[in-house]
Every structure is written in C-alpha cells, then in structure tokens.
C-alpha cells in the first residue's frame, strides 16, 4: 500500500508535469504500443522476406525438377533406341554366324 504522502506527491508531480509523473500515463502507454507495433511490423517484414525467399526456392526447385524430368524422358527414349539397335545388331550377327556355319557344312 502506498502512503498518502507519495500519492499526493505523485498527483502534484503529474499536475505540474514533473518527471516521474508519467510512469503510468497515456503517453508512456502510447509509446509502448508504438514500440510493440514497430516490433510487430519488423517481425512481419522479416517473416515476409523469409516467405518470399522460400517461394523463390520452391520456384527454383520446381524448374529444376521439370528440367530433370525432361532430361530423364530424353535419356529413357535414348536408352530404348539403343536397346533396339543392340537387338538388331545381335540378330544380324546371329544370322551371319548361321550363314557361316551353313557355308562351312556345305563345303
């Protein structure tokens, strides 16, 4: 409990605009609210920057993923083509071996 003398002193100080009278005054509360708003704005801007950076990374990863899928499709088609050519060469070699064996037996 605050003694009456201190209460009177506080009231007189507030009335005369002395320092210390503004302890719980509206200007101090406004200042604190402005500081809280500034801090909130700063954190909001920081969060916005982080979200923007995250969006950029996501866009970059999507582009890279699209590019890798296209490359995979090209390589898969190329592999299928090479396997087909390999089978054609194998069939030709086997046919030549068959003809050579037939010629050898015919001689």
SS (H, E, C) 20-39: CCCCCCHHHHHHHHHHHHHH
Give dist(CA 16, CA 9) in Å, integer. 11
* Chain segment 62-93, per-residue pLDDT in tens: 999 999 999 999 999 999 999 999 999 999 99
For position 61, what pLDDT does the model report? 98
- Tell me, rounded to whole angstroms, the distance of Cα 46 from its chain centroid: 14
Q: Any idea how long the chain is?
A: 107
For position 34, what pLDDT does the model report? 75
Sign of torsion over alpha carbons 32, 38, 39, 41: positive
pTM of the complete model:
0.52
């Amino acid at each position: 409990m605050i003694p009456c003398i201190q209460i009177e002193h506080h009231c007189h100080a507030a009335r005369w605009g002395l320092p210390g009278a503004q302890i719980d005054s509206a200007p101090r509360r406004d200042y604190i609210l402005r500081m809280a708003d500034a801090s909130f704005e700063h954190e909001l801007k920081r969060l916005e920057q982080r979200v923007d950076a995250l969006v950029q990374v996501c866009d970059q990863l999507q582009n890279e993923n699209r590019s890798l899928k296209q490359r995979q499709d090209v390589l898969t088609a190329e592999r299928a083509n090479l396997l087909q050519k390999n089978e054609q060469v194998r069939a030709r070699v086997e046919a030549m071996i068959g003809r050579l064996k037939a010629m050898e037996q015919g001689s």
